[in-house]
Amino acid sequence: MSKRSGYEDLEFVSDFYDSMYNQLPRRDIEFFLGYAKQAGGKTLELGCGTGRVLIPTASAGCEITGLDFSPYMLQKCREKVAKLPQKIQKKIHLVQGDMTNFDTGEKYALATIPFRPFQHLITVAEQKACLDCVHEHLREKGKLVFDVFHTYLPRLIDTRYFMEMAVGESLQLPDGRVVKRTERTAAFHHAEQYNDIELIFYVNYPDGRKERLVHAFPMRYFYRYEIEHLLSICGFKILEFYGNFDKSGFNDESPEMIFVAEKTG
């Protein structure tokens, strides 16, 4: 079982997640929603987290199963789902599981892996296991849509990234805590193609107490043709490839690598 992203054993990560990404919104929700609407059947979202993409997808009328191995992220998602109208709640199924080894007992028209959970799979064996499971769960000609970041070469060699760098504005949590964030790279692992990353949270409590919390995890980086080969080996044909969520083409400056693939065979 792959168990190294920190989400599965650090509860505070789920406490801060929604505030962080409400503040720094990604433009990916509409993108993934578009594929769910076109799919003509159920969607399976791997690494669904707190439901940032899953809830808008169900709210737009699409049936969706979310799988995640973090009990904390899933709990946040469940709390949000419980506040939705019954008819939207009925469109949502949540499953705790590992995306490298799961069996929901269903076939889907679409599988998605939004916001880089695939980069928590460090080894090729884990990546292939995930793609094999997805293949098994897709109906004939079902689609897989997922994004990874476009690897930025200075972040692989420049030791200035070992210094903590401030990220975003302070987070104001509903319970009164105020959180300042930094991030840094803790180590390079060129031979295995991943960096150790630390997301660091400086928490100020309303009573004056202070705490420093660290979400540390390894993050795999990929190159375009590596993913193309992986998809091909695992029985997928690439239909579309983008450099950003506005569907612009991939080039040197693109922030993302976004793959839309179809199950073959």
Ligand X SMILES: C[S@@+](CC[C@H](N)C(=O)[O-])C[C@H]1O[C@@H](n2cnc3c(N)ncnc32)[C@H](O)[C@@H]1O
- Site residues (vs ligand X, CB under 6 A): 2, 5, 7-8, 47-49, 52-53, 68-70, 73, 98-100, 114-117, 120
For ligand X, the closer CB: 26 or 204: 26
CB of 152 to ligand X, least distance (A): 18
User: CA 138 → CA 3, 39, 84, 149, distances in Å?
Assistant: 24, 11, 28, 25
Residue 197 CB contacts under 8 Å (≥ 6 apart), including other chains = 183, 184, 185, 186, 216, 217, 218, 219
Angle, CA of 181, 182 and 187, to the nearest 5°? 145
d(C-alpha 143, C-alpha 140), whole Å = 9
CB closer to ligand X out of 37 and 116: 116
Distance in Å, CB of 159 to ligand X, minimum: 25
Nearer to ligand X, 68 or 256 (CB): 68
Cβ proximity to ligand X: between 73 and 257 the closer is 73
**At closest approach, how far in Å is the CB of 197 from ligand X?**
11
- Measure CA 161 to chain center: 22
Instruction: Report helix angle 11-23 to 71-82, nearest 10.
Output: 60
Q: How near is the Cβ of 68 to ligand X at its closest, in Å?
A: 4
Helix (H) or strand (E) holding 77: helix 71-82
Which residue's CB is nearer to ligand X, number 49 or number 142? 49
- When CB distances to ligand X are compared, the closest residue is 49
Angstrom distances, CA of residue 180 to CA of 19, 73, 133, 213, 214 = 12, 21, 38, 11, 12
Tell me the closest approach of the beta carbon of residue 98 to ligand X, in angstroms: 4
